Structure 1
Amino acid sequence: MNRQYCLISLFLLCCGFFGNAQTDTIQRLDTVVLNDSKLVHFSEGFKLQTLSDSILDNHTSLTDVLRFSTPIYFKENGYGMVSSPSFRGTNASQTAVIWNGIPINSALNGQTDFNTIAPQASDAITVRSGGGSVPYGSGAIGGSIHLNNEMVFKEFSETDLKLLYGSFGTVEGNFKTKMASKTMFADVHVNFISSENDYEYLETDQKNENGEFNRFNAGTDIGFKRKNHLFTWNTNYFLGKRNFSNTITAISRSRYEDVTTRNLFSWKVFGKKYESTLKVAHLYEQYWYFANRETNNYDGGRAHTLLSDYAFDYKLQKDIKLSFNANYTRIEGKGTNIGTNTRNTLTFFLMLHHQVTDAFSYGASVRQSFLNDFDNPFLFSADASYKVADWYTVKANGSKNYRVPTFNDLYWNAGGNDALQPESSLQGELSNVFHFGKLQLEATAYYIHSNELIQWRPNASGVWMPENVSEVENYGGEFSATYKTSFQKHDFEIQANYAYTKAFNVEKQKQQLYVPFHKATGLFTYTYNRFQFEYQSYYNGKAFTTTDNKGSVKAHSVSNIRTSYTLGPKTNLIMLGVNANNIFNTYYENVAYRPMPNRNIQTFINIKF
């Protein structure tokens, strides 16, 4: 397979040089460049939600950002602990996280812990609902979360420093600086948070013991533009150390440490009718789990992922765009419980977008992957968007998606099952978008049918092991509303989301675990001159915690407020503010027997120059 890798890499480089040879059709590069063209150019029929800068800046983790802004439910084992999503009723391995166009879910368990992602490290975060396995690969069944860094090629420099201190001994710092010219761009960002995390368990005489955590995140983004060439480098480093906190019923003495690194190099060549992109990436992850934090005995694992990706986008006509993509990924994993294993994946996919008229467009895509573990299904996707009137647009999409078994599923000691097959799903979605002046409404209905769902069950000997056993159906509706208005120096904004989710095992006709039927979020922002007030809230309906649907976590609503005042000239701004979280002091759990924080206060200062 190493020989195959060399041949594939040589092919990709030749493709890049072919693009370089076409210097007679140079196209002016955009001032603002994103690294994920598939999201920009091939998602018109999908529901997309891009989160504002203010939302990203106001939260300490990606969990909090999405919990208060989207229909996604998060299973969080106490504040700051492991956090996994349920997107449209799917499980954590069926939600893909995409960083600058490449998937970054763990090669070991197939998931992303959303408490390890610093939202301030990204310039834009977009939530793409529905199937995305054709452009983004395994796991993009419920939807995908896109973390993008923008590069702006114009003369400017800016620096942003934020310091926060809050309840439970919480300290956070954020630093980001950017410098650019017409041909170069560079930014550096650093985030650190530490917390004793010793909040009281309301309605009990206990508190969150063994819950300390600290996280460090740093990265840089560099771009260089010359004629019709663009070279970019993105890197990110994460180091986390945390104890795993108690539950109401059990004491914990465990701790967990993990480190991840991501490096992505991209070379783009632009022409009048084409765009050629070569990407090479290396991802590394390692963890250490200590059952007793006082000892040096641990279980651990690590994985290296090497990715080569080539995309050739071509304008067949003014209104027809094609994208051919070839990808090779090699994963090497090693761990206490999984031994040493490798996976090689070669993928080809083709995407089409046709802007038939100013009002109507459609897209179609196909994908085939080849693995050394098992056969992969042939995937397809189709979408369309039609502007019926100035105030009304209809969107629709349908796709076949999949998820491959993880290293843990296949090789876990005394439980792995190397005969597992990939999960597959068929789904469809219909959205209606309305614009009435300053009011925007969107209503979406979807359906997902999944086969070969991987579940861990006890065998005849009582040993838990994964099997392809379940057939699951998910369907529901989502509604969102946004309203903005202003008069004189007063600005108002209201955002609201509601989701109904039904996700059930076809055989047992029972709702899936930790999938509430109802979720709603709301945000109200008022700005006057340099003063800003923000009220945000979410509601989670009851979620079942047992397969017989008898155990559950109760429905709850949590509200936060934030106030800030900005001082100084525009070139040297100082913002002073206060966050009050869980203002009604609500007792709630997202995972059974793991209470979340009571009312707490945070103060912050933000300096921009």
Structure 2
Amino acid sequence: MIFLASFIQCLFLGMGFNNGIPEEGLKNSFILDSIGEILPLDTVELVPVEVFSPSLEKYTYGQLVRRMKDDDLESFQGLSLSDYLQQRTGLFLRQYGAGMLASLTMRGTSAGHNAVFWNGLPINSPSLGQTDFSILPIGGFDELYLHFGSGGALYGTDAIGGAVHLNSKLKFGQGHGLQLGTHAGSFGRWNQQVQYGFSSEKISLRTRVYKNVAQNDFLFRNIAKPGTPIERQEHAAFQQTGISQDLAFQLSSDQLLSSSLWYNQTEREIQPVIGSNTLDEQIDRNLRWVMDYFKFIGKATWNFKTGLLKDHLIFNGSQNSTMQLFLIGDLDWEISPGISSKSGIRYTHIQGKLSTYSAQEDRLELYQSTNLSLSEDLHVSINLRQFIYEGNFAPFTPSLGMDWLILSNKGQELKFNTNGARSFKVPTLNDRFWEPGGNPDLAPESSWNAELGVSHIWRRGSLMLNQRLTHYQMWVNNWIIWLPKGSIWSPENIREVHNKGLEYFLDADYKMENWTFELQGNYNWTSAINQSEITDNDRSAGNQLPYTPVHKFQTLLGIKRGIWNTYVNYQFTGSRFVGTDNQDIIPSFQLWDWGIRMREIETTWIKGSIGIQINNIMNTSYQVMRLRAMPGRNYQINIQIKL
């Protein structure tokens, strides 16, 4: 099965994958990106080669891009990306139940105002305009980057509040390796994953197969019944299966070809709201494929990419399918010391066959990025993008960012960051073509963003402290809202919103002999105020947007000694308004989690880890979305074995 999948992908290696290899990438051998190291089994001594530096960070001076830790991702194997983001990042996700729809909001924007990328391809649904983070398993990718704030000039449509990047990762020169993983937990949760990889100096391949199952039959308090009795959740099970295949070929000393394929299928019983007994069901089938060709010429890197995304959603038997085909080319080169440039073009063809309509669309994007090093301490990024769809020009999208190193001595570094940018969101296919009610005359949503930040790194002996504080202001115009027109709902460019807030990030560690103490923290203060009256009788002007907490806080204290690692995680989510009139409120909630893990358990042939987690230790009864029950205290065990 594994070798058949590899053979099939080799046959079709004319279609697509991007990892953004830098110009230094092919001096001796290549790298790409792969979760965990694959340990060699044969007797040939090979030297692993890693030369990867994601291009998405290169032109982001003045902006915040965070790379999540590999160890954290490994400890969440068997869980979804929504589980990880909710527990470890301080971001707010609108979760409609355990394993149900989970949509991300960044800086007070909507679920459709965040771009999501897999190996450089935008994977937001063209019909819905967003991504369901609950059906993205952590085991399906290797690296996770979060871009906070406006990214339209870098990434295109949707990146008003931020962007999420999921990357695959391969290595050359590692030989054979087999990795097995299993995860079990409360409420019928079970996961198994098998990974096989092989790499030499010229070729690297890896295949992963996984299956996730959960009954989600947890106990909850039924507030819709007199006396609020404790009941067991019904009709909330899900099952997920998937396979991914990654390949890379070193064609010559200055050429690289790589390809990735990912198929993911999720079947869910849709958890009803409290007090209801609906029996909705949904199936999601997602096929993603990408291939990259890299050519290195001196200090220049040519990248040609092609990719295919096919999404098929079946809701209660209703069929909805979309297909996206991508052709991308760009040149990234160092013009002179202190000046680098990236120029590119992206073409997208979209086809949609939905339950009430069919549509197709062609998109063209031209983009230019430039880095200027004005001195050793002052660096500037300038990004420009023009997006065209079906002959319509989206707003021209520039951004200007700056990093200024103010102080660097005696073990500390103080840096000033600022950025101004414009972003946009093209109306979705459903917004324009849904029958009845779609509005083909909708204008793109548009935003202006300004932010100012300061970052400080302090080292003294065995103590390291890294923190960053950012203040941002954002103005979003032409926000699309669906409104009733008689018996039919139709979208309009109505809402104007002013967002502002503070973001604080802390990473600290202290080493003492064999002990390491870690402290991580995230705090978000978010104001997202509607500035316009939607209807004549509307009372939403001046109010906070629904389901947007003003306060969100997360902190983790970890202790490591040898192969042992334990942590306590705390998260606070402030109260949220249910409606635009700000009358009904969902109370704030606090969650405590604890875990212990034994890493790098090693014998002659086996290397592994085992971890135990207890989530919601206090057995808190809470809701993220109104009348959507969430699980109480639950237990999980995670075992990873590498052969």
Q: 1:495 matched to which residue of 2?
A: 520
Judge conservation of contact 1:274–1:315 (CA < 8 Å) in 2: yes
Q: 1:424-473 CA distances to partner (integer Å, 9 max, x unpaired)?
A: 000011121101110111101111101000011112x1321110001101
Q: 1:214-242 CA distances to partner (integer Å, 9 max, x unpaired)?
A: 11222111111121001000111110100
SS in 2 for 1:68: helix
Q: Tell me, yes or no, if structure 1 residue 556 matches structure 2 residue 582.
A: no
Mapped to 2, the partners of 1:422 and 1:583 lie a distance apart of 45
1:33–1:474 Cα change, 3 Å: same
Q: How does 1:513-528 map to 2 (within 5 A)?
A: 513-528=546-561
2:402 to 381, 384, 389: 384
Q: Tell me, yes or no, if structure 1 residue 434 matches structure 2 residue 483.
A: no
Q: Tell me, yes or no, if structure 1 residue 313 matches structure 2 residue 312.
A: no
AA at the equivalent of 1:562: G
AA at the equivalent of 2:602: G
Judge conservation of contact 2:332–2:342 (CA < 8 Å) in 1: yes
1:150 to 169, 176, 180: 169
Task: Report the CA distance between 1:36 and its aligned residue.
Answer: 8.2
Mapped to 2, the partners of 1:327 and 1:454 lie a distance apart of 25
Q: How does 1:417-566 map to 2 (within 5 A)?
A: 417-437=439-459, 438-459=464-485, 461-507=486-532, 508-566=541-599
Unpaired stretches in structure 2, ≥5 consecutive residues: 1-13, 15-23, 34-51, 222-227, 533-540
Q: Tell me, yes or no, if structure 1 residue 58 matches structure 2 residue 80.
A: no
Q: 1:311-350 CA distances to partner (integer Å, 9 max, x unpaired)?
A: 011211022111110111000001112x110010111111
1:193 to 212, 220, 229: 212
AA at the equivalent of 2:158: G
1:264–1:494 Cα change, 3 Å: same
AA at the equivalent of 1:575: S
1:235 to 246, 250, 261: 261
Q: 2:225 matched to which residue of 1?
A: none
AA at the equivalent of 1:445: H
Identity %: 26
Mapped to 1, the partners of 2:365 and 2:609 lie a distance apart of 48
Provide the aligned C-alpha RMSD in A: 1.9
Judge conservation of contact 2:57–2:65 (CA < 8 Å) in 1: no
Judge conservation of contact 1:36–1:100 (CA < 8 Å) in 2: no
Q: Tell me, yes or no, if structure 1 residue 271 matches structure 2 residue 297.
A: yes
Mapped to 1, the partners of 2:405 and 2:626 lie a distance apart of 45
AA at the equivalent of 2:390: N
AA at the equivalent of 2:220: Y
AA at the equivalent of 1:554: P
2:141 to 108, 115, 122: 122
1:160 to 179, 189, 201: 179
Task: Report the CA distance between 1:29 and its aligned residue.
Answer: 6.1
Q: Tell me, yes or no, if structure 1 residue 67 matches structure 2 residue 86.
A: yes
1:320–1:30 Cα change, 3 Å: farther
AA at the equivalent of 1:272: G
AA at the equivalent of 1:244: I
Q: 2:132 matched to which residue of 1?
A: 113
Q: 1:604 matched to which residue of 2?
A: 638
Q: 2:160 matched to which residue of 1?
A: 141
Q: 1:335 matched to which residue of 2?
A: 354
Unpaired stretches in structure 1, ≥5 consecutive residues: 1-12, 14-24, 291-297
Q: Tell me, yes or no, if structure 1 residue 592 matches structure 2 residue 592.
A: no
SS in 2 for 1:410: helix
1:32–1:387 Cα change, 3 Å: farther
Mapped to 1, the partners of 2:604 and 2:515 lie a distance apart of 19
Q: How does 1:182-331 map to 2 (within 5 A)?
A: 182-202=201-221, 204-225=229-250, 226-290=252-316, 298-331=317-350
Task: Report the CA distance between 1:267 and its aligned residue.
Answer: 0.4
Q: 1:361 matched to which residue of 2?
A: 379
Deviates more, 1:48-57 or 1:109-118: 48-57
Q: 1:99 matched to which residue of 2?
A: 118
Mapped to 1, the partners of 2:406 and 2:164 lie a distance apart of 29
Judge conservation of contact 1:425–1:449 (CA < 8 Å) in 2: yes
Q: 2:21 matched to which residue of 1?
A: none
Q: Tell me, yes or no, if structure 1 residue 179 matches structure 2 residue 198.
A: yes
SS in 1 for 2:126: coil
Q: 1:560-581 CA distances to partner (integer Å, 9 max, x unpaired)?
A: 1111234333852232332111
Mapped to 2, the partners of 1:524 and 1:189 lie a distance apart of 32
Q: 1:574 matched to which residue of 2?
A: 608
Judge conservation of contact 2:553–2:572 (CA < 8 Å) in 1: yes
SS in 1 for 2:73: helix
Mapped to 1, the partners of 2:61 and 2:207 lie a distance apart of 32
Judge conservation of contact 1:71–1:87 (CA < 8 Å) in 2: no
SS in 1 for 2:72: helix
Q: 1:473-532 CA distances to partner (integer Å, 9 max, x unpaired)?
A: 100001111111222221211101101000010120110111000000111211222222
Q: 2:47 matched to which residue of 1?
A: none
Judge conservation of contact 1:131–1:141 (CA < 8 Å) in 2: yes
Mapped to 1, the partners of 2:473 and 2:640 lie a distance apart of 44
Q: Tell me, yes or no, if structure 1 residue 89 matches structure 2 residue 108.
A: yes
Mapped to 1, the partners of 2:431 and 2:575 lie a distance apart of 29
Mapped to 1, the partners of 2:453 and 2:235 lie a distance apart of 45
1:372 to 377, 390, 399: 390
Q: How does 1:36-47 map to 2 (within 5 A)?
A: 37-47=54-64
Q: 1:168-224 CA distances to partner (integer Å, 9 max, x unpaired)?
A: 111111233333222222122223210111111136332221101011222111111
Mapped to 2, the partners of 1:220 and 1:575 lie a distance apart of 24
